[in-house]
Amino acid sequence: MIAAGISLAIIAVVNGLGTKLNTKFTSINTSLK
């Protein structure tokens, strides 16, 4: 149970970081154009 909760928390954090990086990348990409 604890391991499942930890893995869910890690997935949530990774997903949050991924979306932040994605928005940064798209804004940089549009500014380069």
Selection from 22, 18, 14, 16 nearest residue 6 by Cα: 14
- 16: its two tokens: 């949050």
The pLDDT assigned to 33 comes to 82
pLDDT for residue 26: 92
Which amino acid, 32? L
| Unique residue bearing structure tokens 């604890």 | 2
pTM, entire model: 0.53
Q: What is the pLDDT of residue 7?
A: 93
Tell me the pLDDT tens digit for each residue of 1-33. 799 999 999 999 989 888 998 999 999 889 988
